[in-house]
Amino acid sequence: MNTTALKAVLAAAGFTLSGAVLAAATLVQDVRVFDGKHAHQRRSVLFEGGAIVDADFRGSVPQGARVVPGAGRTLLPGLIDAHTHAFRDHDLPLLFGVTTQVDMFTGVPLMQEMKAAMKAGKNAGRADMFSAGTLVTAPGGHGTQFGMAIPTLVRAQDAQAFVDARIAEGSDFIKIVMEGGGHGMRKFETLDLATVKAVIGAAHRRGKLAVVHVSTERDARAVLEAGADGLVHLFPGEAIPQERADSLARLARAKGAFVIPTFTVLESMAGTREDDLLRDPRLAGLLDGEAQGQLKARYGATEQPALLAAPRMVTAALRRAGVPLLAGSDAGNAGTQYGISMHRELAALVEAGLSPAEALAASTSAPAAAFKLGRRGCVATGCKADLLLVEGDPTTDITATRRIVEVWKDGESVNPMRDAKRLRVAQRQAGGTPPGGALLALPPDGRISLFSEAKLGSPFGSGWMPTTDAIAGGKSTTVLAAQPALGDGQVPLAISGSIAPGLPYAWAGAAFMPGERPMQAVDLSAAKLVRFKVRGDGGTYRAMMMAQGVAMPGYASFTAGPEWAEVSIPFSAFRGIDPAQATMIGFTAGPKAGAYRFEIADVRLLER
C-alpha cells in the first residue's frame, strides 16, 4: 500500500501518522479471527502503520511485508481492561495482551502525560489509557486512603463545579464512589444519594459518562435509578433470591447501563485463590517477585467462597437480560496484577455464565462501545492495529488467551519487550532472589526487639527506624527513645510526636525492617502472629505490615492504656498482605491529627 492510501486509512480511523507508523506491513495469514463480536474461521489480516489495512486480505503478499503464520491460531483485538488503577507499570499490561486500560482513578499529572503521548502517536511502549482522573468521593471516603491529598465533595450544590474541575484536568469520564465499607474492608465516609444524583446530572450536562462504584445491592439499584451509565463493580455476598437478581438486571437494561463485575478483586475480598496463572511458566516468567507478590496477596484473610454467589447470580441475570457486560480486573489492588489478571477475569466471566465468545467481546468491543473509545477493540479495516495472537481457539476454550504468540501495539510487535522482560526475570531468579523473598528462620524466642540506649537492635534484618508520612508529602513527626528496663530486663521503646493534618491517612511511628536492606522482601511465614507489650496515653494506635508489590499496608488497631498490657495480632488481620513477601512491620499513630505517645516492648514473631 502506498503512503497516500495509508494516510487515508489512518485519517479515517482517527490516528496520527508518526515516524514509527511507517514501519513495514505485517500479514497474519490463514488465521482464525475474532473480530470483537464474531469468529471467522480463516482469514488473512494486513496491517501497517498502526491501522488494519485489510481485515480480509485476499491478494498476494505485499512486497516487504512480514508474514506471520496463523494456522491453528486466533487473532483477537488487543484486550481492553475496563477497570484498572493505572498508577504504575504501564508496560506490563502489554506483555499479556492488554493494549488499553480504562483507569478509574490515578494521578492527574500521569493522566495528562499519557493523554499527550497518545495524541502525539508516541505511546507504543505502553498500554493506552482512558481515565477518570480523580474520582468523586466524600471527605474520608474510599479513594482517600492512598496517602495523597485529593479534592473531595461535600455538598450536592457543588457537584457541577467539582465535575467541571475534573473535566478541565482531562478526565475522560466521571467516576463516583458510593461506598461505606464492609466485607472485611475498613469503614468509609460516603456520598449520599442526593449528591450522587447531582454528580450524575452534572456529568451528563457536559456530555460525560457517569459511572459508579457500589458495594451493595441497595446502592446498585439506587444509582441505576439515578441515571448512572454504568456500575464499575458488582457487590459481594451470599446467594440472593433469583427474582431480585432478575429485577436488578431488568432495571439495568431499562436504564441502558453497562456493568463491570470485577470478579478478580471480588475473589480477593472473598479470600479465594486462583493461582493457576502463576503455575503457568509462560505467564509467571514475565513477573518478578514484586509483581508476583501483589498477585498472591488477598484482602480476605479466610476463604469465603459464598461471597461470590451474589455477583455470579447477578452476572448471569444481566447476560440473560442483554445488559452489556465489560471485563475489568481492578488491577492495582491486592490479588490483582496489570495485564495478567485479565486472563483470570475472562475465565471468571465464563464461570458466571458467559460463553467464551461473550467474554472475549466483554474485553474488546463492549468496553470500546461503552466508553466510546473509537476504532479499537475490533479487527476490521480501519481499526487500530492493537492485536493479540494466541495458540488455539479462545472462542471455545477461554484459557487459550493465555497461550500468547505475539502482541502488537500501534502495529508494532511487543515481543521484543516480552523477551527482554522474561530474560530479566530469569536472570534475577538465577541470581538467588526467589519470588517469595529470602526464607527466614525465627529466633528461638521469636523476639525481634533488642532495644538499648545505644542501639535499637534486632536479631536479623536492617533493624528499627522511624517511619512517617513524609514519603506521601505529609508533615507528621516521630521520635524514638529507649526507656529504663522493665523487671524482665526488656527495654521499652517510647514512640512520640505529632500527626499533622492534611492527609486522610497520615501516620508516624516505628518500623521494623526484616530484610538486609530497608523494604527488602523476606519470608516471615514461619510466624503466624506478632505479640508485644504496650502502654501509653490511652489512644488507639495501629500495627501495620507491608509486603512487596502491595501499595497499601494492612492494619490492625490496638489501645495503649496507662498500664502495660500484652497484645497479640494474627498476621491474618493484616488484610491483603502475604507474610512470605513481608517488607515491614510498624507501630504507628494516625490518621487523627494531634500529639501522641506510647511505648512498646518485647516484640515477638510467634507460631501461635
Give start and end residues of each alpha helix (H) in 170-262.
193-205, 217-225, 242-255
Cβ–Cβ < 8 Å for 115, 13: no
Beta bridge partner(s), residue 52: 47
Residue 3 is predicted with a pLDDT of: 45
Top pLDDT among 380 and 276 is at 380
User: Which of 161-170, 353-362, 578-587 has the weakest average pLDDT?
Assistant: 578-587
DSSP letter (8 states) at residue 514? -
- 546: Cα separation from own chain's centroid: 17
Residue 17 is predicted with a pLDDT of: 42
* Cα distance between residue 319 and residue 351, in whole Å: 13
Residue 167 class from Cβ within 10 Å (0-12 exposed, 13-18 middle, 19+ buried)? middle
Q: Is residue 572 part of a domain?
A: yes
Q: Place 434 in a pLDDT band, splitting at 50, 70 and 90.
A: very low
* β-strand pairing of 98-103 with 128-131: parallel
User: Which of 6-10, 93-97, 481-485, 592-596 has the weakest average pLDDT?
Assistant: 6-10
* Cα distance between residue 457 and residue 459, in whole Å: 7
Q: Is residue 556 part of a domain?
A: yes
Q: Is residue 362 part of a domain?
A: no
Please report how the helices 217-225 and 242-255 are oriented relative to each other, as an axis angle in degrees rounded to 10.
30
Percent of the chain with pLDDT over 70: 92
Which residue type, as a one-letter code, is found at position 247?
A: S
If you average pLDDT over residues 119-144, what whole number do you get?
92
Scanning the structure block, which residue is given the C-alpha cell 516487504? 64
Q: Let me know how many helices (H) and strands (E) the chain has, helices first.
A: 16, 29
Q: Place 288 in a pLDDT band, splitting at 50, 70 and 90.
A: confident
For the cut 50, the answer to whether the pLDDT of residue 21 exceeds it is no
What 3-state DSSP class applies to 131? strand
Q: Which three cell numbers stand for residue 251?
A: 432495571
For the cut 90, the answer to whether the pLDDT of residue 551 exceeds it is no
Residue 435 is predicted with a pLDDT of: 45
For the cut 80, the answer to whether the pLDDT of residue 439 exceeds it is no
Q: Residue 595: which domain range?
A: 438-606
If you average pLDDT over residues 485-498, what whole number do you get?
94
Residue 147 is predicted with a pLDDT of: 58
Scanning the structure block, which residue is given the C-alpha cell 528496663? 485
Residue 111 is predicted with a pLDDT of: 94
Q: Is residue 510 part of a domain?
A: yes
Q: Within a 10 A sphere around the Cβ of 62, how many other Cβ atoms?
A: 18
The mean pLDDT of the chain is: 91
If you average pLDDT over residues 493-506, what whole number do you get?
87
Tell me the HSE value of 175 on the side-chain side, using a 13 A CA sphere. 27
Give the Å distances, CA to CA, from 122 to 20, 50, 213, 509. 8, 11, 32, 44
If you average pLDDT over residues 394-407, what whole number do you get?
98
Scanning the structure block, which residue is given the C-alpha cell 452489556? 324
Report long-range pairs for 486-492 (Cβ below 8 Å, ≥24 apart).
486/564, 486/601, 488/602, 490/449, 490/451, 490/533, 490/601, 490/602, 491/451, 491/452, 491/453, 491/601, 492/451, 492/533, 492/599, 492/600, 492/601
* β-strand pairing of 438-439 with 522-523: parallel
Residue 574 is predicted with a pLDDT of: 87
Q: Which three cell numbers stand for residue 38?
A: 464474531
For the cut 60, the answer to whether the pLDDT of residue 6 exceeds it is no
Convert 412-449 to b/e letters by CB count within 10 Å (16 or more is b). Answer: bbbeebbeebbeebeeeeeeeeebbbeebebeeebbbb
Tell me the HSE value of 563 on the side-chain side, using a 13 A CA sphere. 0
Q: Is residue 457 part of a domain?
A: yes
- Longest CA pairwise span in the chain (Å): 90
Q: Is residue 473 part of a domain?
A: yes
User: Which of 141-155, 512-526, 578-592 has the weakest average pLDDT?
Assistant: 141-155
- 388: Cα separation from own chain's centroid: 22
* Cα distance between residue 581 and residue 576, in whole Å: 11
Top pLDDT among 434 and 88 is at 88
Cβ–Cβ < 8 Å for 491, 548: no
- The CATH number linked to 514 is 2.60.120.430
User: Which of 203-207, 349-353, 483-487, 547-551 has the weakest average pLDDT?
Assistant: 547-551
Which residue type, as a one-letter code, is found at position 229?
A: D
Contacts of 430 (CB under 8 A, 6+ apart): none
If you average pLDDT over residues 467-472, what whole number do you get?
82
For the cut 70, the answer to whether the pLDDT of residue 9 exceeds it is no
The DSSP element (H or E) to which 419 belongs, if any, is: helix 415-430
For the cut 50, the answer to whether the pLDDT of residue 512 exceeds it is yes
Q: In what order do the strands lie in the sheet with 230-231?
A: 174-177, 210-213, 230-231, 258-259
Q: Within a 10 A sphere around the Cβ of 161, how many other Cβ atoms?
A: 10
Cβ–Cβ < 8 Å for 347, 263: no
Beta bridge partner(s), residue 81: 101
If you average pLDDT over residues 583-596, what whole number do you get?
94
Which residue type, as a one-letter code, is found at position 294?
A: Q
Q: Which three cell numbers stand for residue 260?
A: 463491570
* β-strand pairing of 258-259 with 230-231: parallel
* Cα distance between residue 21 and residue 25, in whole Å: 10
Give the Å distances, CA to CA, from 54 to 26, 71, 100, 384, 389. 11, 18, 22, 12, 17
Scanning the structure block, which residue is given the C-alpha cell 481499526? 383
What 3-state DSSP class applies to 396? coil
Which residue type, as a one-letter code, is found at position 531?
A: R
What 3-state DSSP class applies to 530? strand
Q: Place 517 in a pLDDT band, splitting at 50, 70 and 90.
A: confident
Give start and end residues of each alpha helix (H) in 42-107.
92-95
- 602: Cα separation from own chain's centroid: 37
What 3-state DSSP class applies to 122? coil
Q: How many residues does the chain have?
A: 608
If you average pLDDT over residues 480-490, what whole number do you get?
93
Top pLDDT among 218 and 517 is at 218
Q: Is residue 515 part of a domain?
A: yes
DSSP letter (8 states) at residue 141? B
Max avg pLDDT among 167-181, 353-367, 448-462, 577-591: 353-367
The DSSP element (H or E) to which 566 belongs, if any, is: strand 565-570
Give start and end residues of each alpha helix (H) in 256-384.
263-269, 276-279, 281-284, 289-296, 309-321, 340-351, 356-362, 365-370
Q: Is residue 432 part of a domain?
A: no
User: Which of 78-92, 409-423, 425-439 has the weakest average pLDDT?
Assistant: 425-439
pLDDT tens track for 42-95: 999 999 989 999 999 999 999 999 999 999 999 999 999 999 999 889 999 999
Domain count of the fold of the chain: 1
Omega before residue 501 within 30° of 0, cis:
no
Beta bridge partner(s), residue 595: 498
* Cα distance between residue 544 and residue 581, in whole Å: 14
DSSP letter (8 states) at residue 311? H
